[in-house]
Structure 1
Amino acid sequence: MAARDPWFDNIKMTLVTLVVIGHSWTLLPQDTWNRWTYDFLYAWHIPAFVTITGYLSRSFAWTPPKLWALVRTVAVPYLIFEAALAWFRYQVGGIQLDQLFADPHWPMWYLSALFFWRLMAPVFLGLPKATALVVALVISLLAGLAAGNILDLARILGLLPFFVLGLTLSDREWGWVRSRRAAVAGIVGVAAVGAVTWWLNDWMPTEWYYYRSRYDALETSDLKAIGIRAMLLCIGLVGAASCFALVPRARSWFSTLGAATLVVYLFHGFFVLSAQYEGFPDWADRHIVWSFVVTTVSAIVLALVLAAPPVARTLNVAVDPIGWLERRRRALVARPESQP
């Protein structure tokens, strides 16, 4: 088995921590600062997350072992956590839900998207790189015209260019953003994305950054909407590349947490929803500055705790129950019989 690349583990853990932060920020009052920081984060951290997902999907093929692994590690967790989140929101939050499984609840869109992106991977890998990227771009730009919400299809197609980008980038091209020179450019890139999203904050709704709504629901003409999405794709690309360039390359304790990103992703929502149901937004409304600090620090701590090896190993039973059972069975078979 090839050794894990600490840089990619650092990227994965950084990005899933940002996911937890972003979801936690939904608990905050919507003043100008909070709206901008949220939009700034969503402009690039999900594109970066999807790009890394593409990179990690390069080995997928339509073979029985790979298809079974896709079902076991993506479809089964989707069914388990979609049901668990729905039950939690109904029983604890008193929220009436419909379209269970067909309309992914909150963070579950990613598993739905991952399932279909992986199935599409061999198709795009079979195309010349430039052709694959152009096809993905055209699909993304046109998806807002007609794509619906079943299994979050609109978002799957809207974010497709980032998945295909990660899927088709060579190791040599990834090396460009690992250089020290790229780190300097990354600082400039982050500043540029911050400035652009500050300008956009005055007139563009946050909904655009989710890539999930039809253009006609965003109250703009189709032609203008296509232009806005193209602009957001460029912003996401610059922000994602800047993020990759700034993430540390060395192996550290943080790198070891990168193996548990799915555990963090699937479990953090219960904690954020608990804070919402317990009235944290009311406290946040009364403490504008402190609530931002407390929420951000708490989100970081939550991500680190969920990814800690002892915690992640325990929770992984729910994330991959079939894999856990298979490992238990192999361990029992391999156990030597006791001698009389």
Structure 2
Amino acid sequence: MPGRRDPWLDNAKAVLIVVVVVGHAIVLMPSGPLKSQAYDFIYYFHMPAFVLVTGYLSRSFRWTRRHLWSLVTTLVVPYLVFELLMALWRVHVVEQVDSLDVLSPLWLNPHWPMWYLVVLVMWRLATPVLGRHPVMVPLSVAVSLLAGTVDVELFDINRALGLLPFFVIGLHLPRGVLQAAKARGSGLAGLVVLGGLWWLAERTDDHWSTQWLYYRASYDSLDATLAEGMEIRAQLIVLALLGTFAVLTLVPRRTSPLTQVGTYTMGVYLLHGFVIRLAEHEGYADAMPGDGWASLLITVAAAVALAMLLGWRPVATKALWLVDPVNTAGGWLRRRADARRERSTDAPPSATLEPHGRGPRR
């Protein structure tokens, strides 16, 4: 059927957003070697994988009025809203900082985890150029390697440049690669790769610190020369691609409980940070049974449950008015726009906003 959603892609998005939540939740654990290993293991691949799949789903983006408007309503507006909400949450609810002045400048220097929305806007705007020719793949790698020579916090440009190869690879990803990831028996190879990354995460602290895995810090700030920095980043890009493929081999191929979550990944991404901050404020680490496997398993299970809850349709649809206030029926900006049209006697019927989900897929 034309236009039918691929459950594997929705499952892939769901798996990756769950891994993102798990990665953020592990920070709450009591400090120890297992926490450091688990954190580095996830950060080897979780955001690169999410970026690559986002690139793959962004291939249809063009500089048309419809696509640009969708970019504003589904990314820019939520960023403006949630950047402020997260700042207020950190000041007045979890008391992580004492005033908004500490977090300024709001909107110009994105705060965790809102950087992704700003960076995605930049990538999407560049998509018609980045997707024009496969030569953009090696060029994007070169840009990422050279990005470590500068330190630009404005709109998290450093991270946009550092993670650029994964978005561009997603734009040019051959369908055969996805078919290979979905092939029977590929999951065994994926488990072997992930096992290797887990083993590596325990043994690389002397070679690269966790800061390298964010793709944002300059080589100077990481005490590396240009040659050393480029070598380490190139190694991390290769590891991230291997980890991405490995995770995709484990994605369910048919409709599953994950499929529904995959249609609401933006809501899960934007909302889970508030719960993570609250759990930290309430002393999550103190409630854990030490820094070993019991705490890790409890934390992973709680993070998976949180992601599934936020992506559960009865919850996710109620949150859409805040996550996508322009396009969602009942959204506060949508209601204001509808009210203005009702008051205007000469507004044409075509002025109605496009229904949610008609823009480029996220």
Q: What's the counterpart of residue 69 of structure 2?
A: 68
Structure 2 residue identity aligned to 1:24: A
Task: Note the residue ranges of structure 1 that are not aligned, 5 or more in a row.
Answer: 335-340
Q: Are 1:195 and 2:199 matched, yes or no? A: yes
Deviation at 1:203, TM superposition (A): 4.2
Deviation at 1:289, TM superposition (A): 4.3
Residues 77 and 289 from structure 1, CA distance in 2 versus in 1: closer, same or farther, beyond 3 angstroms? same
- Partners of 1:121 and 1:284 lie apart in 2 by 44
Structure 1 residue identity aligned to 2:239: I
Larger deviation, residues 309-318 vs 285-294: 285-294
SS of equivalent residue, structure 2 residue 91? helix
Q: Are 1:277 and 2:249 matched, yes or no? A: no
Q: Are 1:322 and 2:326 matched, yes or no? A: yes
Deviation at 1:10, TM superposition (A): 0.7
Larger deviation, residues 195-204 vs 52-61: 195-204
Q: What's the counterpart of residue 36 of structure 1?
A: 37
Question: RMSD between aligned alpha carbons?
Answer: 2.0
Task: Give yes or no for contact 1:27–1:284 (8 Å, CA) kept in 2.
Answer: no
Number of residue equivalences? 331
Deviation at 1:186, TM superposition (A): 1.3
Q: What's the counterpart of residue 154 of structure 1?
A: 158
Q: Are 1:258 and 2:259 matched, yes or no? A: no
So what's the TM-score if we normalise by structure 2? 0.87
- Structure (1 or 2) with the greater helix fraction: 1
Aligned residues: percent identity? Answer: 40
SS of equivalent residue, structure 1 residue 272? helix
- Partners of 2:250 and 2:295 lie apart in 1 by 27
Residues 224 and 287 from structure 1, CA distance in 2 versus in 1: closer, same or farther, beyond 3 angstroms? closer
Task: Give yes or no for contact 1:12–1:49 (8 Å, CA) kept in 2.
Answer: yes
Please show how residues 1-340 of structure 1 align to structure 2 within 5 Å.
2-94=3-95, 95=97, 96-127=102-133, 129=134, 131-284=135-288, 286=290, 288-324=292-328, 325=331, 329=338
SS of equivalent residue, structure 2 residue 31? coil
The superposition leaves residues 185-229 of structure 1 with CA deviations (integer Å, 9 ceiling, x where unpaired) of: 212221222222222134421111011111111111121011000
So what's the TM-score if we normalise by structure 1? 0.92
Structure 2 residue identity aligned to 1:103: N
- Partners of 1:305 and 1:25 lie apart in 2 by 18
Q: What's the counterpart of residue 337 of structure 1?
A: none
- Partners of 2:86 and 2:279 lie apart in 1 by 14
Larger deviation, residues 172-181 vs 304-313: 172-181
Task: Give yes or no for contact 2:147–2:158 (8 Å, CA) kept in 1.
Answer: yes
Task: Note the residue ranges of structure 2 that are not aligned, 5 or more in a row.
Answer: 343-348, 351-362
SS of equivalent residue, structure 1 residue 27? coil
SS of equivalent residue, structure 2 residue 253? coil
